[in-house]
Structure 1
Amino acid sequence: MSAELQIEDKNRLLIVTVNYRTGSLVVDSLRSLQEEIKSVPGAKVVIVDNNSGDDSVEKISNAIAAEGWQDWATLLPSKLNGGYAYGNNYAIRPALQTANPPDYFLLLNPDTQVRPGALKALIDFMDQHPEVGISGSSFEEADGKPWPYAFRFPSIFSELDSALRLGVVSKLLSKWIVAKVMDNEEEQIDWLPGASMMIRRQVFESIGLMDEGYFLYFEETDFCLQARRAGWTAWYVPQSRVMHILGQSTGVTATNQPPKRLPQYWFDSRRRYFLKNHGWFYTALVDIAWLSGFSLWRVRRMLQRKPDTDPPQMLADTFRNSVFLKQGIPCQKLPSI
């Protein structure tokens, strides 16, 4: 079923999934939502297909019709692949413009399956804490293994640590390390993965939609930072559990295959994040910290004969995309629709 987005008066939640060539995973995700959607009266799901060019539209449309999901699931094809922020905005923008926009928006990856009570746990938490603008689920891998991470904002110190990989330095910089291992308690955090992230409507009204200058990566980090600067907090809510298969659309973060060379859009997004939010001088220090730390790591890796698990040409690619060789804030140029 492909149709224009419709929001009913009673709708409290709009779930947005952006698909790019993962049609079968979207169907599995919708199937996991079938019972959970009933816990939130009037909740709707919109699947934005980012011009996949494969059989995704047909596969998702057929599943919606065959399974009788038309009352709560809608497919919204886009004419271009504008990236993650673009795809989410493609559904969120018209929903915000309705007479009675949803109270909450849940960004949900196509490679996820929600566990029982996941939606209600997030909504209950947000209802009970009106000062919270963003909340996120805890994750598990396909085999049920916990993936208990939320994140701190990137900084000079986190970039140095991630590049250098030296135990004594990591201990000294522990409070700046981006990935934070979470326990089973609700906790305020800097930013949350966009794989399952609930956003209060008023956050969009405060800071606008997600930044479409990012194609992929860093956009949810940037969004959470803008929300923080506007006075909203972000919280990790472990009672909401979601299974997430990492890296299925891009392969960049996939854990079941050798590391790939990072795509150009990853470097553009990284540079955009630091330049936009911290300026040229800070970004230059970030690049110096990472390049020097990673160079030392590569020498130590060879001397200690450690396995090479880094993406191919990582050092050269990072230098080519540093602020010393590229000027200005990267912004993808997209045609309007």
Structure 2
Amino acid sequence: MVSTAETVAVVVVTYNSERLIPDLLASLGPGLEGIDWHLTVADNASADDSVGAVRRLAPDATVVEMGRNAGYAAGINAAVAKAGPFTAVLVLNPDVRLTPGCIGTLLGTLRTPGTGIAVPLLVDGDGKLIQTMRREPSILRTLGDAVLGAGRAGRYPALGEVVTEERAYDIAAITDWAEGSTVLFSAECWERCGPWDESFFLYSEETDFALRARDAGLVTRFTPAAQAIHLEGDSRVSPRLWMLLTLNKVRLYRRRHNPVAAAGFWAALVLREGSRAALGKTPSRTAVRALLSPSRLREQPGPRMVHPNG
């Protein structure tokens, strides 16, 4: 049973998400059954009627209009700041659909001592497993990805960042971090590790938050008994988004390592993306050009970038 003392602040960041909102909202009641919860939506200046859809379908929700495309982390921070009292925060992408009882199960996981973040098993719209568990980025794992490919490298903890062994998703586990579409974290975790770092704009912000939580002694736990559906965005096919994802990996690594190690990580990423570019992959060509541009590595992401669900 879920304790009546639990109150979950559900936080959603929208950007041209009107078509996704009805199904997301319809899934919240069953997904949070038996739990006291409230919804806050931060909208990053959508050009469609995302705000209107939320206000029509969830009139009790708090809507924060950002006034610009401020990024995913900024939206999360603004929504949490405007949310009512909470014991936990549930961050959801607009293209997530909760299954019945999902969050009650995650709350149980969150009560495990030393836990700051709980994440569910995710499947796509066709019911196929999404490999969401991640290991901390490293030079060797980036090289492993470049040489073996993410699928093969991920079978070996030392060689792959993405956990690709499907049997690993059958059991509860501690993971360094997990993809950020469906994340439940405790109020304690927010107080000790928040807010999310807005300088990333999009991508690596969830990595940064989970690693900082781990540094503070609060781990991320994967819980396959809790399940949700993620329709997923287009970072793997959009050259611009893939470039941002790649650049933010370098920025994050630089913040956590010395300059020599950071240079090695950058070189490994150039090798990985260069090998893919040689095979004709346009997103990797764009990423390589950005990695070789000192100005692009220095600059902060700006509002010209779009949300992957836009």
Is it true that 1:311 corresponds to 2:295 in the alignment? no
User: Within 1, Cα distance between the matches of 2:222 and 2:155?
Assistant: 25
The residue number in structure 2 matching 1:229 is 215
Which residue, out of 163, 172, 194, partners 2:180? Answer: 194
For 1:197, the aligned partner's letter is V
Q: Secondary structure at the match of 1:289?
A: helix
Q: Contact 1:215 / 1:265 at 8 angstroms: preserved in 2? A: no
1:26 alignment counterpart: 21
In structure 1, what is the equivalent of residue 143 of structure 2? 160
Asked if residue 139 in structure 1 is aligned to residue 122 in structure 2, the reply is yes
Amino acid at match of 1:276: R
Q: Is the 8 A contact 1:13 1:103 kept in 2?
A: yes
Unaligned runs of 5+ in 1: 1-8, 254-258, 302-307
Which runs of 5 or more structure 2 residues have no equivalent in the other structure? Answer: 304-310
Instruction: Quote the Cα distance in structure 1 between the aligned partners of 2:46 and 2:277.
Output: 38
**1:108 to 2:77 alignment:** no
Percent identity, please: 25
Count of paired positions: 296
Matched, 1:54 2:25: no
Tell me the SS of whatever aligns to 1:179.
coil
Matched, 1:331 2:300: yes
Equivalent residues of 2:136, 2:177 under 8 A apart? yes
TM-score (normalised: structure 2):
0.85
Query: Aligned partners of 1:277, 1:266: CA distance in 2, in Å?
Result: 17
What one-letter code is carried by the residue in structure 2 that aligns with 1:282? A
The question of whether the paired residues in 1 share the 8 Å contact of 2:32 and 2:100 is answered with no
Write the mapping of 1:46-85 to structure 2, written as runs, cut at 5 A.
46-65=40-59, 70=60, 73-85=61-73
Q: Alpha carbons of 1:329 and 1:190: their partners in 2 closer, same or farther (altered >3 Å)? A: farther
Q: Which position in structure 2 is the counterpart of 1:119?
A: 103
Q: What is the root-mean-square deviation in Å for CA atoms of aligned residues?
A: 2.8
> Is the CA contact 2:95–2:231 (under 8 Å) kept in the aligned structure 1?
yes
**Within-5 A mapping of 1:232-247:** 232-247=218-233
Instruction: Return closer, same or farther for 1:102/1:150 CA change in 2, 3 Å cut-off.
Output: same
Tell me the distance in 2 between the aligned counterparts of 1:37 and 1:146. 22
Query: What's the TM-score, normalizing by structure 1?
Result: 0.79
Instruction: Determine the structure 2 residue equivalent to 1:4.
Output: none
> Which protein is bigger by CA-based radius of gyration?
1
CA contact (8 A) 1:29 1:111 kept: yes
Structure-2 separation of matches of 1:141 and 1:84: 21
